[in-house]
Amino acid sequence: MSRTCINNIHKEFVDFPEGTFLCLYEKQEGAEPVAVRLQKDDKTVHGMGGFSHSHYLGLFPVAQFYFDTPSNSRALQVQHKVTMYSGVIPHDSKNSSLPAAFYEVELSNPAKRELDVSIALSWADLIGRGIRDTVRFDEKDFNFAGDSADWCFMEPPETESKETTVYGWRGIHQFAKDPGQLFPSKMTLQNYNSDFMILAEQSQGVKVSCFNERLITDQAEWQRFARTGKFSGQTAEVENRGESPVKPVKSGAVAAFCHLKAGETKTVRFLVSWFMPEPNYEKIEAMPPKAFRKGLDYGRYYHNFFRNIRELSRYLIQKREEIFIRTIEWQLPLLDSSLPDWLKLKIINSGYTLFTNCVLTKRGCFSSLEGEMGGLGGTMDQKMCSHPFYQKLFPGLDTTENEQFSDNPSDGGQISHMDILYYDGINTVEPEKWHADRVWDGGSMVDNTGAWMVQMLKNYDQTGDISYIRKNYARMNAAMKFMENTCNQYAVPIFGTTYDDATHPPLFIFSATVYLLMLRVAAKMARLNDDTKMAEEYEARSRITEETIS
């Protein structure tokens, strides 16, 4: 594990977090025990070395790997394979947006002698780290970008850790003593997680032990693990002293110990879950006017179903097998297809942006962020090529975001570039219920309107639901009229495009081909709305533009 970015979607993360890793213990009859970290490096941490070689397969959101050749210890007899996964299930937003990850380790003993084996998952205390906050939002020309000089790191809260059991799984619960310390000065869409749970399955033949809280530099419990494969279960007296707002100083760990007969295989399972309390809107309403957007939703989709991390973790344990099976179900037809392997991997792994760049609020407002663009989101132009994954798996979310652009067009009727500012809020899908000023206009380009139209038609092609096209037909005609007014004598728009890092020639092939696509889509939408006159007009204009391109 090399990066943890569950607190802040846009930019900050905890890089190479000390105290967060998997490790393996083995004791063979007649031999000294050995303990190694399941990490590819040549370091020695807590007396445990890593591995010099790894084998990895990533099919988002599932990853599998195993290591061979320990770098600082003797070779192991036990064989292992780690499978890590979260849920991405088509048409199931609930089970695809749960704040959790499972870690499963398959252990096999190919030797003739019996083995004692233990897997430990150590987790650093990440609560409140990597979150940006500000009190300067009332100043003139305030810059909302999260990496600007107007923002600083939030002070981490006092935290505690206790042993816990959930639905037969045992482990530790890390939590903020006062979750109110995580309440921001300025409302944003960051994750103000107040709770973590690190649990291991207690199954037949698998014994679970843990330590709740230690300074990351504390060696005592790891020395015990290296000797016995188990932890003491004791909690240390550890205070929060001068903690870095990014670097954690405390950690806890859970170990799953088992005995393997010759030729036997067992699987040990861990769950890591985290939880952000639902925002207190009475408290939000009392904030200065520029510190929040009235009527906007700063909650998370899982707040519709769970009140706390215990409810969440219990549900995850009960649904674990179903979540895994339904996640790999949609991958299998692709993997069994005649597509080249590189394309199979590209299609499946393009879904990673659902977790790294997307926001889904309690009310179901959805948007995707544009990478490092200061927390700007929506990025409609990019969707011309980047949206097909979640459009196919989650057409409802795709339509939700498209509606946000429909409800907040740029001046002149064309579709805007952005619909969200991560450090301010997300445009609501029902402005008549939750009125808010336009969060971000962000200008417009030819491919903003083009991508919006393509997604609208794709939604119809996939679902057969024509209501969305009919609702937005007038909006589409207005946007197309705007584009027509920017056309030159060659029937091609002279207007901005997503390729804005270079000077465009007056007749730009990208603008021309996108506009031709838009005319063809508009003609089809006109016919779906029984508007023969406009369909014929769009078809005639598309022939002229096609002649220009030719």
Question: pLDDT tens for residues 93-152?
Answer: 999 999 999 999 999 999 889 999 999 999 999 999 888 899 988 888 787 777 777 888
Please name which of 401, 375, 363 lies closest in space to residue 279, comparing C-alpha atoms: 363
Query: Quick one: which of 184, 145, 143 has its CA closest to 370?
Result: 145
Q: Using alpha carbons, list the distances in angstroms from residue 315 to 83, 272, 320.
A: 20, 13, 8
Distances in whole angstroms, Cα of residue 269 to Cα of each of 114, 313, 383:
21, 14, 37
Report the distance separating Cα 145 and Cα 149, nearest Å: 9
| Domain 3-319 = CATH 2.70.98 | yes
Assess contact for 190 and 11: CB atoms under 8 A: no
Beta-carbon contacts of residue 117 (< 8 Å; ≥ 6 apart) = 24, 25, 26, 27, 78, 107, 109, 229, 257, 258, 259, 260
Run of H or E including 212: strand 206-215
Contacts of 179 (CB under 8 A, 6+ apart): 157, 194, 277
At residue 420, φ and ψ (nearest 5 deg) are: -150, 145
- Collapsing DSSP states into helix, strand and coil, what is residue 223? helix
Q: Compute the distance between CA of residue 442 and CA of residue 445 in angstroms, rounded to an integer.
A: 10
| pLDDT at residue 436, as a whole number | 41
Q: Which fold has domain 357-549?
A: Glycosyltransferase (1.50.10)
Low-confidence ranges of the chain (pLDDT < 70): 9-13, 16, 239-242, 427-443, 500-504, 506
Phi and psi (nearest 5°) for 38? -85, 70
The conformation of residue 472, written as its DSSP 8-state character, comes to: T
Cα–Cα dist 259/265, whole Å: 10
- Cβ neighbours of residue 357 closer than 8 Å, sequence gap 6 or more: 9, 368, 369, 370, 371, 377
Quickly count: other Cβ atoms within 10 Å of residue 507's Cβ.
14
Cβ atoms within 10 Å, residue 544: 14
Q: Residue 481 contacts by C-beta under 8 Å, 6 or more apart in sequence? A: 413
Fold identical between 3-319 and 357-549?
no
Structure tokens at 73: 């210890």
CA distance 277 to 180: 10
What is the token pair recorded at 97?
């947006």
Whether omega before 184 lies within 30 degrees of 0, making that bond cis, reads no
* Torsion angles phi and psi, residue 326, rounded to 5: -70, -20
Whole-structure pTM over 0.75, yes or no?
Answer: yes
Total residue count of the chain as it appears in this document:
550
- Which tokens go with 226? 């290296």
Strand 132-133 relative to strand 159-166, pairing: unpaired
CA distance 364 to 335: 31
Instruction: For residue 242, give every residue at least 6 positions away whose Cβ sits within 8 Å of its Cβ, in sequence order, or none.
Output: none
Structure tokens at 166: 């959930």
Please give the backbone phi and psi of residue 324, each rounded to the nearest 5 degrees, phi first: -65, -45
Q: Which of 497, 494, 471, 470 is CA-nearest to residue 482?
A: 494
Q: What is the secondary structure of 391-413 as a DSSP string?
A: HHH-HHHHHHHHHHHHHSPPTTS
Q: What is the pLDDT of residue 426?
A: 82
Which three-class secondary structure string do you get for 51-104?
EEEEEEEEECCEEEEEEEEECCCCCCCCEEEEEEECCCCCCCCHHHCCCEEEEE
Give CA–CA dist 88/62, Å, rounded: 9
For residues 86 and 349, give the distance between their C-alpha atoms in angstroms, rounded to a whole number: 13
487 bridge partner residues = 493
Q: What pLDDT does 242 receive? A: 64
| Sequence spans of domains, the chain | 3-319, 357-549
Residue 192, pLDDT score: 95
